[in-house]
Homo-oligomer: A and B are copies of this chain.
Amino acid sequence: MKNKVPTIKEIAKIANVSLMTVSRALNNNPRVREQTRKKILNIAKELNYRPNRIARSLVSKRSNLISLIVADIRNQFFAELARGIEDKAWESGYNVIISSTDNDPKRLESQVRLMMEMGVDGFILASVRLKEPIVDTLIQQNIPVVLVNRKLASENVSYVVIDNHRGACLVMEHLINHGCRNIAIINGSTDLSTCAERLRGYKKALAEHGLTLRPEYVANGSFTKEHGYTAAKKMLSMPDRPDAIFGASDLIALGVMKAADELGFRIPDDLSLVGFDDTEFSSNPRIDLTTVSQRKYEMGRLGVQVITEIIEGTEANYTNRIVLEPHLIVRNSGGCEMRKSCAHST
């Protein structure tokens, strides 16, 4: 049962040196004679010695653990992000504890508290709302945090995001270029920075092109297929139905697509559709969704880079704000070149 795991004590005894010398040899500290080091390393290998990181953590106050908190790991978007984080963390000598909040602030808070007890070195938060009191708590307690994907209303913390406002503008310009004039937006929840910024881009583009903002063309809700489906059904049944829908996530766009298919509207001929996120299924030929790239994997890697810089850094109040450029991925659903030529103005 008790398969006595070897410790540096055993090694020290066998090598006939002190614990300190063993510790130094194992940690590649140069202040050990080469000969002594070799002897110790050999004994360690022979005993199949593995350092006890718990003990190390207790004294060094570092766990090499990073907490990643997302809305839902089943969401393709977060899964890709998580993989980027995992890979970069591994390369940097860290491990990742993942947990999902379902966008519930209560869950977020209790998870953060548990992670603090676990002694994680820092937090990567991918699913904060615009106001998130627990983040301020972390900052006050001087615990490293980086936001990824979504920002706070305030700017007092490091983040890695894409320019969501710009992304929305790209979408709108694409639709307008293809002759759409009655463009609706089906959006997520406006207490998220991503949604707020995409909505802002939508409005700005309308204004810039002299199109009027119609309240019935704006449906806030959540980043789900169900919301996309329900909102689209309603909009497409209006006498003055939109000729294009901007789904603020690919999931929303999929719901819109289903609604349009059921109602007999052809995409893109009867209805132009654009999503956001460039999740994998959007490239499926049967879906063929025009969307906005998010570089999720890279965003994850950058998040780890920033958090490790904070953890290992000397400056106390180092903050790093990275904003990535979005790109429009043009596929069929948003309208094809043919349609552009026969643009109808309504």
Residues of A within 8 A of B (CB): 1, 3, 50-55, 57-58, 63, 65, 72-74, 76, 79-80, 82-83, 86-87, 90, 95-100, 111, 113-119, 141-142, 254, 257-258, 261-262, 280-281, 284-287, 316
Contact = CB atoms under 8 A, between A and B. Distances in A.
Given A98-B86, A99-B86, A261-B286, A74 B80 contact: yes
14 contacts: A52-B117, A54-B54, A54-B57, A72-B83, A73-B73, A73-B79, A74-B76, A76-B79, A90-B99, A90-B111, A98-B98, A254-B284, A258-B285, A281-B281
A246 to B, nearest CB: 20
Given A3-B141, A73-B83, A96-B99, 9 more contacts: A53-B118, A54-B63, A65-B118, A72-B83, A74-B83, A74-B280, A95-B115, A254-B284, A286-B287
Contacts of A97: 65, 95-97
A302 B116 CA distance: 27
Nearest to A251: B280
A73 B86 contact: yes
Contacts of A95: 97, 99, 114-115, 118
Given A73-B82, A76-B74, A100-B83, A117 B50 contact: yes
Contacts of A90: 99, 111
A274 B31 CA distance: 64
**Which 7 A-B residue pairs are closest in the complex by CB-CB distance?**
A286-B286, A54-B119, A79-B79, A74-B79, A54-B57, A53-B117, A74-B83
A285 B287 CA distance: 10
A86 B107 CA distance: 13
A90 B51 CA distance: 27
A117 B79 contact: no
Contacts of A99: 86, 90, 95-96
B316 A142 contact: no
Contacts of A79: 73-74, 76, 79
